[in-house]
Structure formats: C-alpha cells, structure tokens
C-alpha cells in the first residue's frame, strides 16, 4: 500500500457517498434509509470517541446496575445505549428499537415514527473495556409493514428478512463493516476528517480458513460434533497443518478476524447453556447476514441461522459462522450424529 500517495488522495469514498450511490440505483427510494444510517454512523463516532478516552474520563468500571442479561453494566454500556437510542429515535425513521441493555423493546412516539426497526447491541464485549481489547456495536435493520400499529410480533422476524446489518469495531482503528444486501464493505474512521472512508471494498471470506475461534474453557460441556471438529482443527488426520486458535472473547473482534482471514467462529450450546449464549436478534442475525453476504455461511447446529424465528426479543441460539467449507464440515458432523442417533433408536 502506497501510504504517501494515499495521504494525497482526493477522491474519497465516504460511507455517506457509498450509501447515496446505492440509493441512486433504486429510483423508488426516498432517502429514509440513508438518513437512518447517518444517525447510526453518528452514534458510532460518539461511542468511538468515548471509548478512546474512557480511562481518562472515569467511564471504565461498573455503573452499579445490572442489565436484563444479569450482567453488571459498565458505565460505557449505559452511555452507548443512551447515545444509540437517542440517535435512532431522533432520526424520525424508526418505529421500534431492541437493545441488549433494555429488557423491553422501545416503541417510538407516533409523531416521530418511521418504517424501520433496529435491533442492536450498543457495546458488545464490554467486559473487556478495562484491558483495552477491541469492543464494538452490532446492529440489524428491518422494515416494518405498518409503522402506526407496530407490535412485538413485527420484531420477531427471521433474520433472512433483514434489510441491512453491520458492526462498528473500536480498536486500534475504528472500523465499520456494513451490508445492505448487496455484498459487504468495510469503512475506517479517519479521525482528521471525522469521516468513515471505504478501505475494504466488497469483502469476501476465503472458502476455507486456517483459524478457528472458540472459548475452549467450555470444552468439557460440548456435544460430540463440536468436540470432534475442534479435535480435527488441532490434530488433523489428513496431513494438513493444524489450525491456529484465535479467541478474543469479544464477538465483534472475533468475527472481524474470521471475516477477513477466513476460518470459523463457534459459540456452541453446551450443558451449561443448552440454548447457546449469544442473542439471536442483535448478535446472531446481523453477524450471520454479513457472513452470508461475504460468501460464507452460518448454522445453529440444526438449521441455517437466518431461518430461525425468535419467540422473545432476548432469545439465544448456538452459532457456527465463517468460511463456507468449514461450516459445511460442522454441518456434516451434526448430520452424522443425527443419523447415528436415529439408527440407534
């Protein structure tokens, strides 16, 4: 990469310009989605700034409250949640919001309603704030048929109905990865301009990867297919080199690594968490959507993740997502187990 030439580039593709270009391809669009996205981007910039000075501004540490998941809330969690709720409501383009931090869905005042539903995790991986590990915001956007009579049922849609999804990672740089259903693009925040610039156009995940990402501390509670797959990663019998383990413990950072380098991210069900640990609406669905748009796939151990229909807004699911061939391998192990258990019964 020629950094000297890069520094003098004048034709910069900002995220706003990129979305406006997409919009111009749909003559019937009214610009509502572009306005909504610009409010999400503003929220991401605000949180990026807060994360950068968290240690100095005493934002690290516990806020003294516990969120709906029973996790103690960090001060930054609380701040990020408020920022996104206010940004989304003030856009005038949303009618219902689902946040990881709020027990109930937020129904927007009828005077400010638009036709979109946004499900989001304002600060994923926040238990890692104190040690400086990458954390992020995850979001998924749906369109609601009747904004004036929106109910909780309208929110509980399968992920395949999603209009757009993305995440913003706050790390050594601030990166926003977005899909509006026509591929995946990555944008990096240029602090001197205050703009997200297109740095990773048309991201495609390699068909097969060399890394796997899983919390091996849970290994004793795994089912047979997961145990077999991880064993195969470490001790391959076909003469191929073993895979590298990369696990950060922050979903945004782990999925970002998997998306760029190929491989597989696993958060399976186990004896302790029979329904898995990750939430469907604002973790599993957006990341599965991005992975499929980049040419990979996602699987729950039973079905394609985007075919799931949640029954509650904070429902959880096991998830395997990443390179197409790697997820195919996991699917084959589950199919084998189902076959042997039906034969024995």
251-262 confidence digits (pLDDT tens): 999 999 999 999
Query: Is residue 8 assigned to a domain?
Result: no
Q: Are residues 129 and 238 in the same domain?
A: no
Q: Is the model's pLDDT at 320 over the cut of 90?
A: yes
Over residues 163-180, the mean pLDDT reads 96
Q: Is the model's pLDDT at 92 over the cut of 90?
A: yes
The domain in which residue 69 lies consists of: 15-200
Over residues 229-233, the mean pLDDT reads 97
Query: Is residue 326 assigned to a domain?
Result: yes
Task: For residue 344, give the H/E element and its range.
Answer: helix 324-344
Q: Are residues 278 and 328 in the same domain?
A: yes
Whole-angstrom distance, CA of residue 202 vs CA of residue 184: 5
| pLDDT for res 23 | 82
Count the domains in the chain.
Answer: 2
| pLDDT for res 131 | 81
Question: Which residue in this structure is represented by tokens 């980049």?
Answer: 294
Whole-angstrom distance, CA of residue 16 vs CA of residue 35: 9
Asked if 281 and 119 touch (Cβ cutoff 8 Å), the reply is yes
Query: What is the pTM (predicted TM-score) of this model?
Result: 0.92
| pLDDT for res 38 | 96
The CATH number linked to 229 is 3.40.190.80
Query: Measured in Å, how far apart are the chain's first and last C-alpha atoms?
Result: 59
| pLDDT for res 75 | 82
Query: Is residue 217 assigned to a domain?
Result: yes
At residue 69, φ and ψ (nearest 5 deg) are -85, 0
* 139: β partners: 120, 166
Asked if 159 and 288 touch (Cβ cutoff 8 Å), the reply is yes
Q: Is the model's pLDDT at 142 over the cut of 80?
A: yes
Over residues 287-304, the mean pLDDT reads 98
Which residue from 120, 117, 156 is spatially nearest to 138, judged by alpha carbons? 120
Query: Is residue 4 assigned to a domain?
Result: no
Whole-angstrom distance, CA of residue 169 vs CA of residue 248: 13
Mean pLDDT over each residue of the chain, to the nearest integer: 91
Instruction: Identify which has the larger pLDDT, 30 or 168.
Output: 168
Query: Is residue 119 assigned to a domain?
Result: yes
């Amino acid at each position: 990469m020629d950094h000297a030439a890069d520094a003098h580039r004048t034709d910069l593709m900002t995220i706003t310009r990129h979305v406006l270009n997409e919009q111009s391809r749909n003559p019937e669009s009214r610009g509502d989605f572009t306005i909504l996205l610009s409010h999400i981007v503003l929220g991401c910039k605000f949180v990026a700034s807060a994360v950068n000075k968290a240690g100095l501004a005493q934002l690290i540490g516990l806020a003294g409250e516990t969120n709906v998941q029973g996790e103690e809330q960090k001060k930054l969690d609380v701040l990020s949640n408020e920022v996104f709720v206010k940004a989304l409501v003030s856009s005038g383009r949303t009618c219902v919001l689902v946040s990881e931090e709020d027990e109930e869905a937020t129904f927007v005042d009828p005077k400010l309603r638009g036709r979109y539903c946004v499900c989001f995790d304002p600060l994923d991986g926040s238990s890692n704030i104190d040690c400086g590990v990458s954390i992020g915001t995850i979001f998924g956007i749906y369109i609601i048929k009747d904004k004036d009579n929106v109910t909780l049922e309208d929110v509980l849609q399968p992920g395949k109905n999603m209009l757009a999804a993305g995440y913003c990672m706050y790390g050594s740089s601030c990166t926003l990865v977005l899909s509006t259903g026509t591929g995946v693009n990555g944008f990096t925040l240029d602090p001197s301009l205050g703009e997200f610039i297109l740095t990773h156009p048309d991201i495609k995940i390699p068909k097969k990867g060399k890394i796997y990402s899983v919390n091996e501390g849970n290994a004793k509670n795994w089912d047979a297919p997961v145990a077999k797959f991880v064993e195969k990663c470490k001790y391959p019998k076909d003469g191929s080199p073993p895979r590298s383990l990369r696990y950060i413990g922050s979903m945004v950072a782990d999925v970002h690594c998997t998306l760029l380098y190929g491989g597989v991210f696993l958060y399976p069900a186990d004896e302790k968490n029979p329904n898995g640990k990750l939430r469907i609406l604002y973790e599993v669905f957006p990341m599965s959507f991005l992975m499929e748009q980049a040419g990979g796939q996602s699987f729950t151990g039973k079905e394609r993740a985007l075919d799931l229909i949640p029954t509650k807004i904070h429902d959880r699911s096991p998830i395997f997502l990443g390179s197409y061939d790697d997820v195919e391998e996991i699917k084959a192990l589950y199919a084998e187990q189902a076959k042997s258990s039906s034969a024995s019964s």
